[in-house]
């Protein structure tokens, strides 16, 4: 059996502390990496929805007036609804917060809004070409909306 030298007795606790510190740093880094990955996945899902929506609007735009297409609102779970506002009618304040309503009213160049606006740290309002609504209209996440060709624009309506 070997005898411990004087300095070895004091070195062992420092090795355990160092091992625990390294383990904590690895766990913290892993947590941050996973949360960033989830945020990136949500942003990708939103961009896919926006691109699919624009593609569908473009398809319907070139159809005969009165033609329509049903589209599912498929967004990340933290986003409760997609709203559309093209400046006609009043904003339903029961569906949006006071802050969201004022920002929507001031966003003259945007017409699609993903609410709540603070669900993620990326863009929540977009400009979709060639759409109009008769008033402020919202569609809950995982529900359907209807695109109707009107000749020189596409109207967003509720499916019947």
- pLDDT tens across 98-143, in order? 778 888 877 878 989 888 888 888 888 899 999 988 888 889 999 9
pLDDT of residue 14: 82
Cβ–Cβ < 8 Å for 155, 134: yes
pLDDT of residue 10: 65
pLDDT of residue 4: 58
pLDDT of residue 8: 60
Between CA 38 and CA 32 the distance in angstroms is 10
Between CA 24 and CA 55 the distance in angstroms is 46
pLDDT of residue 91: 80
Q: Which helix (H) or strand (E) holds 11?
A: helix 6-61
pLDDT of residue 117: 81
| Three-state DSSP state, 19 | helix
- Cα Rg for the chain, rounded, in angstroms? 26
pLDDT of residue 6: 57
């Amino acid at each position: 059996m070997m005898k411990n030298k004087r300095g070895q007795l004091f070195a062992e606790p420092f090795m355990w502390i160092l091992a625990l510190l390294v383990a904590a740093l690895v766990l913290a880094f892993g947590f941050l990496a996973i949360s960033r990955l989830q945020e990136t996945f949500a942003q990708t899902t939103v961009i896919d929805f926006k691109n699919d929506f624009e593609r569908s609007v473009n398809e319907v735009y070139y159809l005969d007036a009165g033609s329509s297409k049903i589209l599912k609102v498929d967004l990340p779970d933290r986003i409760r609804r997609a709203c559309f506002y093209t400046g006609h009618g009043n904003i339903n304040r029961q569906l949006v917060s006071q802050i969201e309503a004022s920002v929507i009213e001031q966003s003259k160049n945007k017409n699609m809004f993903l609410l709540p606006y603070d669900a993620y740290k990326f863009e929540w309002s977009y400009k979709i070409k060639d759409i109009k609504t008769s008033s402020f209209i919202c569609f809950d996440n995982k529900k359907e909306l209807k695109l109707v060709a009107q000749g020189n624009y596409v109207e967003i309506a509720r499916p019947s």
